[in-house]
């Protein structure tokens, strides 16, 4: 296939580009580099089936030549990124999604929307099945991201129902792995960089839970959804639930760090519990995660410890054992 990946220079998008190219597809990556990074794509610069286009999808989306699928991942994803872009983030979910859907419709292509578990907000149902409508504060600071994704889902379903667009929606739960930005403000990267730097680990709250999915598992789900005709929405995530405090202790143990824990209040509207029900993904896509949290963290820590801008005082051997 020839696949258009919006947001393809980001953490998830770049891994999706890799997976598609590895199986023989050609890829056009479209990214305005507002949160994506060229470094994530540097290894693809000379790949004959890869093309990078620096462009803001909220301004339109035209790609010459055939298009077999459009994977729409363009959006700030981490809280610091979308809180610093309170106007651009809703635009990506509205105008960006509309332009990506129109591109897919013009070519009769498969459309994939990368939505998020944040559409469930602070859930009153636990764990969260796709049938749950969510509990989101529509005027809180996080709403620029949460409501943007909820609107993107509504727009995608409107196109599927009214225009017969071959569209599918996935709701992505917390994902981690190599190529995450060290300063994206997410809990995994915060703890890893702080542990490697030997500074206190900042724990906001601590009792809230998350379900962490390794990036390779998540990308397998995205590819399976692209290849299917399933509309969804479909939860993609690892149902192994951990508290934030348990994650901090695990990362300290894996790195051998003696960094103390620095407790801070929970940010406004931070969800107290997130855990996916993935029965639909197993049934419709034959998908389930295979990489456990400890193994995934070892791989991620090895990547971070090997970055030239990071201190090397944590021996790789202690991480890769």
Q: Which pLDDT tens digits describe the chain residue by residue (321 residues)?
A: 999 999 999 999 999 999 999 999 999 999 999 999 999 999 999 999 999 999 999 999 999 999 999 999 999 888 888 889 999 999 999 999 999 999 999 999 999 999 999 999 999 999 999 999 999 999 999 999 999 999 999 999 999 999 999 999 999 999 999 999 888 878 899 899 899 888 999 888 788 888 999 999 999 999 999 999 999 999 999 999 999 899 999 999 999 988 888 888 877 877 788 899 999 999 999 999 999 999 999 999 999 887 755 443 333 333 332
Question: Which residues, in sequence order, are CB contacts of 245 under 8 Å at separation 6+?
Answer: 203, 206, 207, 261
Domains in the chain: boundaries: 2-175+213-236, 187-209+240-272+291-320
CA atoms within 13 A on the CB side of 38: 3
Instruction: Please tell me the distance from the alpha carbon of residue 246 to that of residue 252, in angstroms, as a whole number.
Output: 10
The residue whose two tokens read 């801008």 is 309
Please, are residues 18 and 40 in contact by the beta-carbon 8 Å criterion?
no
pLDDT of residue 216: 98
What does the pLDDT read at residue 61?
96
Alpha carbons 294 and 298: distance in angstroms, whole number = 6
Of residues 96, 14, 114, the one with CA closest to residue 55? 96
Q: Write down the pTM of the prediction.
A: 0.92
Tell me, which fold does domain 2-175+213-236 have in CATH? Rossmann fold (3.40.50)
What pLDDT is stored for residue 270 in this prediction?
79
Question: What is the phi/psi pair of residue 233, to 5°?
Answer: -70, 155
pLDDT score for 309: 53
Residue 225 makes CB contacts below 8 A (sequence gap 6+) with: 112, 168, 170, 232, 234, 236, 285
The number of residues making up the chain comes to 321
CATH number of 187-209+240-272+291-320: 3.90.25.10
Q: Is 180 left (phi over 0), alpha (psi -120 to 50) or beta?
A: beta
Rounded to whole angstroms, how far apart are CA atoms 243 and 210?
Answer: 6
pLDDT for the residue numbered 119 = 96
Which tokens is 232 given? 């969804």
Cα 149 to Cα 170: distance, rounded to the nearest angstrom: 11
Which pLDDT value is given to residue 266? 78
Same fold across 2-175+213-236 and 187-209+240-272+291-320: no
Spatial distance between the Cα atoms of 256 and 254, rounded to a whole number of angstroms:
6
Give CA angle at 173 (214, 259), nearest 5°: 60
């Amino acid at each position: 296939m020839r696949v258009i990946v919006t947001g393809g220079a980001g953490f998830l998008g770049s891994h999706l580009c890799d997976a598609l190219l590895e199986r023989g597809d050609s890829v056009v990556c479209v990214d305005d580099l507002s949160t994506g990074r060229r470094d994530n794509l540097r290894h693809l610069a000379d790949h004959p089936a890869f093309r990078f286009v620096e462009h803001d999808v909220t301004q339109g989306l035209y790609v010459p030549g055939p298009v077999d699928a459009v994977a729409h991942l363009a959006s700030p994803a981490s809280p610091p990124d979308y809180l610093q872009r309170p106007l651009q983030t809703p635009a990506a979910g509205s105008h960006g999604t509309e332009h990506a859907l129109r591109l897919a419709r013009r070519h009769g292509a498969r459309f994939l929307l990368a939505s998020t578990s944040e559409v469930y907000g602070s859930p009153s149902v636990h764990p969260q099945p796709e049938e749950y409508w969510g509990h989101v504060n529509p005027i809180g600071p996080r709403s620029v991201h949460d409501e943007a994704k909820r609107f993107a889902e509504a727009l995608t379903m409107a196109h599927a129902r009214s225009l017969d667009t071959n569209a599918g929606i996935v709701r992505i739960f917390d994902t981690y792995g190599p190529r995450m930005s060290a300063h994206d403000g997410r809990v995994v990267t915060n703890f890893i960089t702080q542990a490697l730097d030997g500074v206190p680990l900042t724990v906001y709250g601590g009792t809230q839970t998350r379900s962490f999915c390794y990036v390779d598992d998540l990308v397998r789900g995205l590819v399976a959804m692209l290849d299917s005709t399933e509309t969804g929405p479909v939860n993609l995530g690892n149902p192994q639930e951990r508290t934030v405090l348990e994650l901090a202790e695990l990362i300290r143990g894996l790195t051998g760090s003696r960094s103390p824990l620095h407790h801070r209040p929970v940010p406004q509207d931070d969800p107290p519990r997130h855990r996916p029900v993935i029965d639909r993904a197993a049934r419709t896509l034959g998908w389930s995660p295979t990489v456990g949290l400890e193994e995934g963290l070892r791989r991620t820590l090895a990547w971070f410890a090997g970055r030239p801008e990071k201190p090397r005082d944590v021996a790789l051997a202690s991480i890769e054992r």
